[in-house]
Amino acid sequence: MNTDFIKGVIVPILTPINENEFIDEAKLREQVNYVIEGGVSGILAFGSNGEFYVIEEDEMERGLKIMIDQAAGRVSVYFGIGAISTKKCCRLAKMAADNGAAGISVLQPMFLKPAEDELYLHFKTIAECVPETPVLVYNNPGRVNYTMSGKLVERLAHEVPNIVGMKDTSGDITQTAEFIRRTRDVGFKVFGGKDTLLYASMCHGAVGGVCTAANFMPELIVDVYNKYVAGDLKRSLEAQFKLNPVRLSMDGASFPVAAKDMANLRGRSVGLPYKPNLATPEGPVLDRIKSEMKQAGLI
């Protein structure tokens, strides 16, 4: 299985919606063009910042088709899966593969706290449903309240042929490094999942990052990656330091609305979040976001 394309900055693309909470096709096509022109290497449909957890399956399929059509082969389009049941994950994986997704990303089940053997079987079963499609596992302990172990990822990487990589959003660089160390012998592709740690993740062998910031400042996050792979480590680190205050300003807002707030502040017009979330109101949190964006020359 060719996995050479699995690298770079992948954006968990925002899902623009209209007043009835249906995907706004025109704005989604505009957002696809914007991130591609900003230099991303790939698009992840319906990741965490794509608000997957509130989108119906038929809307996901419609949105994926729009993204693949608009990308038109310029970058790879991946499909994010965050369902709890293995059965539903398999159904979504098959849908994504049938519609031409370049790969799928699978979050560990939220709300539950599966044993390691249960998690192994969950990921293995999903991957076996789409044996010709690259599968990335997605470790996000901050959202599901438990982490994947290095042992589990090592086992998946060595025993399931089409589980070829992962996104680690632990924010623990030691854990990211362990995932890389344990799987490097099979060319497993580890992505950093924290925008603020893209440089650090790549120093340990990550192939890139799945970066929310690419939705509203692709030029800054892509700059970190491009300078790093060009060997200009000093300027890559400076690019990381330029990005970090903007990215950290998001943390005061209700998840995940800040990404849409910031895109709108840059004139992207991506609309509101799905309810129950609301746009960040005027006040100290939004003031800090605006201040850091101005400092970085974004608005």
The pLDDT tens digits along the chain (299 residues) read 999 999 999 999 999 999 999 999 999 999 999 999 999 999 999 999 999 999 999 999 999 999 999 999 999 999 999 999 999 999 999 999 999 999 999 999 999 999 999 999 999 999 999 999 999 999 999 999 999 999 999 999 999 999 999 999 999 999 999 999 999 999 999 999 999 999 999 999 999 999 999 999 999 999 999 999 999 999 999 999 999 999 999 999 999 999 999 999 999 999 999 999 999 999 999 999 999 999 999 99
Q: Which of 77, 57, 95 is nearest to 13 (CA)?
A: 77
Q: Give residue 106's pLDDT.
A: 98
Q: Give residue 52's pLDDT.
A: 96
Rounded to 5°, the CA angle 221-227-231 comes to 150
Which of 7, 167, 189, 227 is flagged as catalytic? 167
The Cα–Cα gap between 20 and 54 comes to: 13
| Cβ atoms of 139 and 166 closer than 8 Å | yes
Respond yes or no: is residue 138 known to be catalytic.
yes
Residue-wise pLDDT for 111-142, tens only, equals 999 999 999 999 999 999 999 999 999 999 99
The Cα–Cα gap between 145 and 139 comes to: 10
Which of 34, 138, 225, 228 is flagged as catalytic? 138
Respond yes or no: is residue 242 known to be catalytic.
no
Rounded to 5°, the CA angle 200-205-102 comes to 110
